[in-house]
Structure 1
């Protein structure tokens, strides 16, 4: 039997806050008594911690641990706009090393920051919980930015094609169409797809179709034949063989 760890427990110690740093602003922190999320939404500056230096610009986020004593300055002509909050957590593993990374999806970062702020300021239990959930999401983005840096536009394009396959597996996909959507040659697309997803585009599409077939068979009134047709199969026995190979069961067993 699998045992999953208990959910992470985060508690806010300060309201989610935005601040536009004053022109003469600089930060020389005393050792922090708690954890601190610190995200740059606008402006330019620099930060130092334990002898390491990081240039600051939109998307750069830091998660500090108790005892950290960061220092920062900014360009008064391009004043920093920062979002952050103090919090405590019931276990280790949320503070990356190094402390900072660049979140590439700045739109999502901004949405989470605004949602956290608005929810908390409703001053009700659900609003506070929503703010904590937004904090968890941002911490996940920062952790990923630190440990999986340097994702290119091509990586994002390949991920987007994979997402489209999952969303619409019944479409008559070809590798040529997938490559065109990612603005890559067929050979380049296939190489990048295998590197990122661990299987060929064709095999990934089959898996997407079988996953969706399982949902249709178990959650709707579609027959095996109707399910196969909905997912682009004209040969029902072939669909059934693929389904059993991937799930260990026949489609009729899951219906």
Structure 2
């Protein structure tokens, strides 16, 4: 398992109006997360804009430069750290984190836990650092979701959370601001399944959980998940899992 070590305390910097940064070559890793303000960052001759959600991991030897708009001063969260597995070093350079709520929450928890101290506080703050690095790695690796895919992501999450609800294509298409035909095409492209097949799958996953983790009867589970016909539910479950509900129990 990769080991991380703080070389400085997690901290916030609200950069002064006349601030600018021209770093000496760094001796360790530096996490830099912009939470507010506007500016620009230059690394190896390449200049990029900075704004809320702009994050970077600088590596040993990097000599970044930055400046900001004194009327929209940068608020930066970060810390110096070491990593004991160079081949697992985090993504280098600037990335844009889309989920700024999560970014801010992880920063606050990392700072608070570190300052609380003790073994639990130290462990929690290191876990927050690791999660921040994973968040930056994901943003650098995967393309940001477009508006429609972001809405489909929200819709499929809601279906997984509440599979017993009577979801209809008409309702879901309205939520995505698409026609029924457009919604079905985009849904299949996003999930690989039709909306009806996706709903069946999430219902049967939930059915398996209820069968194996509760004392509810097969009839009660079928009714809870919106099945009027218990025999039909049992056939679908067996087709999906290869076992009847009674055998699964």
- Give the TM bin, normalised by the shorter chain: over 0.9
2:20 is aligned to 26
Q: After the TM superposition, which residues 215-254 of structure 1 pair with which residues of structure 2 at under 5 Å, given as runs?
A: 215-254=209-248
| Closer, same or farther: CA 156–237 of 1 in aligned 2, 3 Å | same
1:179 is aligned to 173
Deviation readout 1:210-236 (Å, 9 max, x if unpaired): 111111011100111111111111122
Deviation readout 1:35-87 (Å, 9 max, x if unpaired): 22111001111111122221000011112222222111111111100011122
Q: After the TM superposition, which residues 1-255 of structure 1 pair with which residues of structure 2 at under 5 Å, given as runs?
A: 7-91=1-85, 92-96=87-91, 99-255=93-249
Q: Structure 1: any 5+ residue segments left out of the alignment? A: 1-6
| Closer, same or farther: CA 232–8 of 1 in aligned 2, 3 Å | farther
TM-fit CA distance, 1:197: 2.3
After TM superposition, the score normalised by the length of structure 2 is: 0.93
Deviation readout 1:141-164 (Å, 9 max, x if unpaired): 211222223323322211111111
The SS at the match of 1:121 is helix
Cα distance in 1 for partners of 2:59, 2:185 equals 40
Cα distance in 2 for partners of 1:148, 1:118 equals 30
Contact 1:64 1:95 (C-alpha < 8 Å) held by counterparts: no
Contact 1:63 1:96 (C-alpha < 8 Å) held by counterparts: yes
Cα distance in 1 for partners of 2:185, 2:133 equals 31
Cα distance in 2 for partners of 1:25, 1:124 equals 35
Moved more, 241-250 or 223-232: 241-250
Contact 1:94 1:143 (C-alpha < 8 Å) held by counterparts: no
Contact 1:36 1:64 (C-alpha < 8 Å) held by counterparts: yes
After TM superposition, the score normalised by the length of structure 1 is: 0.91
The SS at the match of 2:116 is coil
TM-fit CA distance, 1:24: 1.6
Cα distance in 1 for partners of 2:20, 2:65 equals 8
Cα distance in 2 for partners of 1:13, 1:197 equals 43
Moved more, 85-94 or 160-169: 85-94
Cα distance in 2 for partners of 1:139, 1:55 equals 21
RMSD, aligned α-carbons: 1.7
TM-fit CA distance, 1:195: 2.7
Q: Structure 2: any 5+ residue segments left out of the alignment? A: none
Cα distance in 1 for partners of 2:194, 2:88 equals 33
TM-fit CA distance, 1:121: 0.5
The SS at the match of 1:155 is helix
